[in-house]
């Protein structure tokens, strides 16, 4: 064989030259990309709008789509790898399965069951050496820490992320049974209460007003309340401009309740009398409504006109017999649609009482909600960013309740869903806690509580544990993350822009007023404001309402929501 013939045969046997591969190539490598599709059903019916995600746990790879009207979904061109494929739909259990992609088209169907995850309570720290079992107050501060205090002398600054705590300086005089809230500039305001000479007697009401500045660890005395007889258990409602209305309370020297009220003037940091309530009262649950009037519900329900400084009676509860003039049996929150919800009912021994009533400010009428399996009063009530409301513990008047109790106090917890007017039992508290507990929402979406374990001052042991509830929405897959904000100082009618990670579609933003609870009242901003959004890529923009009665001045937690799944909250201030 000649040299040229041999060379020709070798060339014929060589493979063709390599061709660079692209995603559009029809090469063998491109054939490794896969389509993943399937159907999502619940109760044998297709689920439309279910959130479908395929992702690596590190989120180096993340894709998202929604199911169509027939419940079908499809992901195109998923590269080879090991993933998790998940389905999430509101009011259904979250489902997740491993997914190995290696070049074959895959089908994965999901059958979703009604939501059943109970969430979880966990101990995250202690208030040692203090045990808060009487005049407790908790305030979420601009740092994201919680300021716990029961007498202004022995406060604790608690970090709910790390579980660490510090011990700020105390004030020069003991002050308990007061109301408290967070001022626009980050100081904490303490108004009224009683001194520590005989805390169980309630006859030593004081008119004192102090502020504490966490940034500088400094206490400052302000001008006293106008009522020289003082106010223990005074009501406190925040106004649209960030000022306050103080209501009622017990007075010295005989603890007699008063109907008088005062307004706090921000510029001068002084108090002036305003109109008196329909009845004298103590610690009335109260909140500014979207109509611009303050609703106070203890008792009977009444409205305060901020412009005229006058009170008038409004529609009474459907269930009016609630034990007035004693302690209130309910807490009050302002809902995202502007109505107000009172949760808690005293007279439930006959089994037919409704645990919630909703006030419509347009008709000035109340309507009852459905009730959970166990009706209670003086529970811990916290509105959540997904619009549901956590109702933890409380006292039942039901004879022989179906769960363990201590003097009627139970660990039973529910979430109330306003949209469906339904209740679902979730994980029990770890400790029996009565109304002296203080419970609030923190930026990472958990709910933190402590105190109230000395049941009716009769039963121990007491605990200084701080426990946190992880709501069911923390177990529903990939949460959105707020990478950056255009500003943390917001204005009414102004826009805010967020960058989101991963590339998920945000359904809405939520502003949650930061809490300052004591007993069954909240001196903070007890409301949830829903903001529609526009999104381009990972950039999300929303505009705040311009109505000052909707968006009060002060501090809020801002959450980016995907259906009922919140991001970690960012602390913002409306100025």
Residue in this structure with the two tokens 């290696």, named with its chain if needed: 102
Count of structural domains, the chain: 2
Give the tens place of pLDDT for each residue, 165-207: 999 999 999 999 999 999 999 999 999 999 987 777 888 999 9
Q: CA-CA distance, 358 to 203, in Å (whole number)?
A: 35
| pLDDT number for residue 201 | 80
Q: CA-CA distance, 266 to 205, in Å (whole number)?
A: 24
| pLDDT number for residue 103 | 87
pLDDT of 254 above 50: yes
Show which of 90, 111, 132 is a domain's final residue: 111
422 with 104: CB under 8 angstroms?
no
| Burial tier of 18 (Cβ tally within 10 Å: 0-12, 13-18, 19+) | exposed
Is 81 among the domain residues?
Answer: yes
Q: CA-CA distance, 307 to 241, in Å (whole number)?
A: 12
Higher pLDDT, 471 or 13: 471
Lowest mean per-residue pLDDT among 1-10, 186-195, 404-413, 469-478: 1-10
pTM of the model: 0.93
* Phi then psi dihedrals of residue 406, to 5 deg: -125, 105
Is 85 among the domain residues?
Answer: yes
Structure tokens at 70: 């027939």
Structure tokens at 521: 């009242």
Looking at residues 458-479, what average pLDDT do you find? 94
Is 527 among the domain residues?
Answer: yes
Confidence band for 347, pLDDT divided at 50, 70 and 90: confident
Structure tokens at 307: 């412009």
Q: CA-CA distance, 6 to 94, in Å (whole number)?
A: 67
List the domain range (segments joined by +) for residue 63.
Answer: 30-111
Is 72 among the domain residues?
Answer: yes
Q: Which residues pair with 467 in a beta bridge?
A: 123, 449
| pLDDT number for residue 429 | 98
pLDDT over 90 percentage in the chain: 88
Half-sphere exposure of 358 (CA within 13 A, CB side): 17
Return all residues near 1 (Cβ < 8 A) that are at least 6 apart: none
Is 524 among the domain residues?
Answer: yes
Looking at residues 326-348, what average pLDDT do you find? 94
Identify the CA nearest to 84 among candidates 66, 105, 65, 58.
58
339 with 363: CB under 8 angstroms?
no
Confidence band for 13, pLDDT divided at 50, 70 and 90: very low
Show which of 111, 140, 164 is a domain's final residue: 111
Enclosing H/E stretch for 370: none
Enclosing H/E stretch for 67: none
Give the tens place of pLDDT for each residue, 21-36: 333 434 444 558 999 9
Q: How far is CA 472 from CA 15, 418, 426, 440, 442, in A?
A: 58, 16, 8, 16, 15
Is 167 among the domain residues?
Answer: no
Name the average pLDDT for the chain.
93
Q: What is the CA radius of gyration of the chain?
A: 28
CATH code of the domain covering residue 554: 2.60.40.10
| pLDDT number for residue 4 | 41
Give the tens place of pLDDT for each residue, 365-413: 999 999 999 999 999 999 999 999 999 999 999 888 999 999 999 999 9
| pLDDT number for residue 25 | 38
**Which string of DSSP letters, residue by residue, matches 208-231?**
-EEEEETTTTEEEE-PPPS-TT--
Looking at residues 58-76, what average pLDDT do you find? 98
Half-sphere exposure of 186 (CA within 13 A, CB side): 13
Structure tokens at 267: 């510029």
Is 269 among the domain residues?
Answer: no
Structure tokens at 523: 């001196």
Is 287 among the domain residues?
Answer: no
Give the tens place of pLDDT for each residue, 210-253: 999 999 999 999 999 999 999 999 999 999 999 999 999 999 99
Show which of 111, 127, 159 is a domain's final residue: 111
Give the tens place of pLDDT for each residue, 267-317: 999 999 999 999 999 999 999 999 999 999 999 999 999 999 999 999 999
pLDDT of 527 above 90: yes
């Amino acid at each position: 064989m000649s040299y040229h013939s041999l060379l020709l045969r070798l060339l014929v046997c060589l493979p063709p030259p390599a061709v660079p591969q692209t995603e559009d190539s029809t090469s063998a490598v491109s054939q490794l990309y896969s389509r993943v599709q399937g159907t999502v059903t619940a109760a044998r019916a297709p689920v439309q709008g279910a959130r479908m995600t395929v992702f690596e746990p590190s989120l180096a790879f993340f894709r998202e789509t929604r199911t169509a009207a027939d419940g079908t979904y499809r992901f195109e061109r998923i590269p080879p790898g090991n993933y998790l494929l998940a389905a999430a739909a509101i009011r259904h259990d979250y489902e997740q399965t491993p997914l190995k992609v290696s070049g074959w088209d895959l089908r994965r169907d999901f059958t979703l069951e009604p939501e059943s995850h109970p969430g979880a309570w966990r101990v995250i720290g202690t208030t040692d050496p203090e045990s808060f079992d009487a005049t407790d107050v908790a305030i979420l501060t601009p740092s994201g820490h919680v300021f716990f205090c029961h007498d202004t002398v022995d406060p604790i600054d608690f970090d709910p992320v790390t579980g660490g705590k510090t011990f700020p300086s105390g004030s020069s005089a003991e002050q308990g049974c007061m109301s408290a809230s967070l001022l626009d500039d980050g100081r904490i305001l303490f108004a009224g209460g009683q001194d520590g000479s005989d805390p169980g007697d309630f006859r030593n009401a004081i008119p004192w007003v102090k502020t504490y500045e966490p940034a500088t660890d400094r206490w400052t005395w302000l001008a006293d309340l106008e009522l020289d007889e003082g106010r223990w258990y005074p009501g406190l409602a925040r106004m649209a401009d960030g000022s306050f209305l103080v209501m009622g309370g017990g007075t010295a020297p005989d603890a007699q309740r008063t109907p008088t009220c005062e307004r706090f003037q921000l510029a001068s940091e002084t108090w002036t009398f305003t109109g008196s309530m329909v009845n004298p009262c103590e610690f009335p649950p109260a909140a500014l409504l979207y109509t611009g009037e303050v609703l106070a519900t203890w008792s009977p329900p009444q409205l305060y006109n901020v412009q005229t400084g006058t009170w008038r009676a409004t529609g009474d509860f459907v269930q009016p017999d609630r034990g007035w003039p004693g302690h209130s049996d309910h807490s009050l929150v302002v809902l995202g649609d502007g109505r107000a919800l009172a949760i808690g009912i005293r007279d439930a021994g006959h089994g037919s009482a409704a645990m919630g009533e909703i006030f419509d400010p347009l008709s000035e009428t109340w309507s009852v909600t459905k009730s959970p399996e166990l009706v209670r009063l003086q529970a811990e009530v916290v509105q959540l960013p997904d619009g549901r409301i956590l109702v933890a513990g409380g006292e039942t008047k039901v004879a022989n309740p179906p769960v363990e109790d201590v003097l009627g106090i139970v660990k039973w917890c529910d979430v109330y869903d306003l949209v469906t007017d339904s209740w679902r039992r979730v994980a029990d508290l770890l400790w029996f806690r009565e109304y002296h507990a203080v419970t609030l929402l923190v930026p990472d979406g958990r709910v933190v509580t402590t105190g109230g374990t000395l049941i009716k001052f009769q039963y121990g042991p007491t605990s200084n544990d701080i426990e946190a509830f992880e709501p069911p929405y923390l177990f529903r897959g990939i949460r959105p993350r707020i990478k950056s904000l255009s500003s943390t100082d917001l204005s009414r009618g102004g826009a805010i822009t967020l960058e989101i990670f991963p590339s998920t579609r945000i359904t809405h933003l939520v502003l949650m007023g930061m809490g300052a609870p004591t007993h069954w009242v909240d001196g903070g901003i007890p409301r949830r404001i829903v903001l529609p959004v526009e999104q381009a890529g990972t950039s999300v923009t929303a505009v705040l309402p311009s109505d000052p009665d909707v968006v009060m001045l002060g501090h809020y937690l801002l959450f980016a929501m995907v259906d009922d799944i919140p991001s970690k909250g960012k602390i913002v201030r409306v100025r």
